[in-house]
Amino acid sequence: MQLRWMVVGFLLPLVAATASANSPTAEDIMEKAHHAVLYQGDMMRAFIRMTITDANGNQRKRQFYSLRLDRPSPAQQADRGLGAQYVYIYFQRPGDIKRTAFLVHKHTDKDDDRWLYLPDLDLVKRIAAGDKRTSFVGSTYFYEDISGRSLGEDRHELVSNDDPYFVIKSTPKAPDSVEFAYYKSWIHKTSYIPVQVEYFDARDEKYRLWENTQVKVVEGKPTVVSGVMHDLRRNEQTVVESSRITYGLDVPPDIFTERYLRNPPTGYFR
C-alpha cells in the first residue's frame, strides 16, 4: 500500500529498530501515537483552514482558531502525558458560522464533555455522548475526531511490524456504541505519528480514511500541519491545514469554561 506523507524540516529514518524482545506493545504504541498528535507541548494554539468537498466537487470553507491546554494529574496517567485536556475552537469564517464556539473537556475515566455555542440563537448546546460520532460543522470529521478517541474504549492489537510502520488493529469494547467494527492505524516507527487510519464496517468494508499528509517541526516538536478525512461512501472529503502554530502560551484554565463560549477570549485568536 502506498502511503502519502510529506515531512518538512527534519528527516525521519525509514528504518526503525527491528522487532525484539523489547518491542513495544500495541497499547504502548497507541499511547505514543496519541501523545505525538494530541499532546505535543502542554499548550497549543493554531489557526486552521478547513475545506469540505462534496461528491460534485462543490466546496465549503471554514476558518477557526484552536486552543488546547493539557491538565494532567497523577490519577490520569500524568507520567505518560495523557491526562485531562481542554480544547476551545472559535470560528471566524464564513459569516454564517462566525463566532460559533466549540469546547471540549477531555477525560480519561469517563465520557468527554462537549459544548457548542450557536451565536444566532445565543444557545449553548451540550453534545451528548451518543452524538460524538456525528459530523462536526458539516465536515467529514466527527466531534470525536477533534479531541481524539479515548484509548481505553478499544482493544489494540499489533498486526504488522514491518518497516517503517507499526500497524495496529483497534476493536471497540462497546461495539453497539459506534458505527465501525474496527480500524487500522499505520504509525511511523520513529515519530509515532499516525500516517493513515482506515475504518471498517461490520461487512469488513472500508468506509472512512484519515490521512495525516504533512508534518513540520514547530518549536522543536514534530507537528501535523495537514490532514484529510475521506468519507468513502459519500465520496466526500475534508482537508484541514494548520498554521500560526504556537506552543507554551500562558493561557488561564478558566478560559475553557462554558461562560467563555458566549464571551470568547479573542485576544488569543490573533
Whether the ω angle into residue 94 lies within 30 degrees of 0, i.e. cis, is: yes
Centroid of chain to Cα 220? 20
pLDDT digits (tens, 9 = 90+) for 197-232: 999 999 999 999 999 999 999 999 999 999 999 999
Ranges of the chain with pLDDT below 50: 1-2, 8-21, 74-79
Please, what is the Cα angle at 180 between 175 and 181, to 5 degrees?
Answer: 65
What does the angle CA 130 – CA 87 – CA 123 come to, to the nearest 5 degrees? 65
Per DSSP, the residues of 88-138 read EEEEEESGGGTT-EEEEEE-SSSPPEEEEEETTTTEEEEE-GGGTTSBSTT
**So where are the chain's domains?**
6-10+23-262
Enumerate residues 6+ apart whose C-beta is below 8 A from 242.
46, 47, 48, 223, 224, 225, 226
N- to C-terminal Cα separation, the chain: 40
CA-wise closest residue to 112 among 143, 79, 134: 143
Helix (H, G, I), strand (E, B) or coil at 268: helix
pLDDT value at position 236? 98
CA–CA separation, 57 and 60 (whole Å): 10
Distance set, CA 252 to CA 125, 176, 256, 262 (Å): 23, 38, 8, 17
Burial class (CB in 10 A: 0-12, 13-18, 19+), 130: exposed
CB 213 within 8 A of CB 4: yes
Q: Which CATH number does the domain 6-10+23-262 belong to among 3.50.50.60, 1.10.10.10, 3.40.640.10, 2.50.20.10?
A: 2.50.20.10
Distance of CA 109 to the CA centre of its chain: 19
* 85 phi and psi angles, rounded to 5 deg: -150, 145
Between CA 12 and CA 20, with CA 18 as vertex, the angle to 5 degrees is 140
- What pLDDT, on a 0 to 100 scale, did the predictor assign at position 71? 80
Helix/strand number for the chain, H first, E second = 3, 14
pLDDT of residue 162: 86
3-state secondary structure of 253: helix
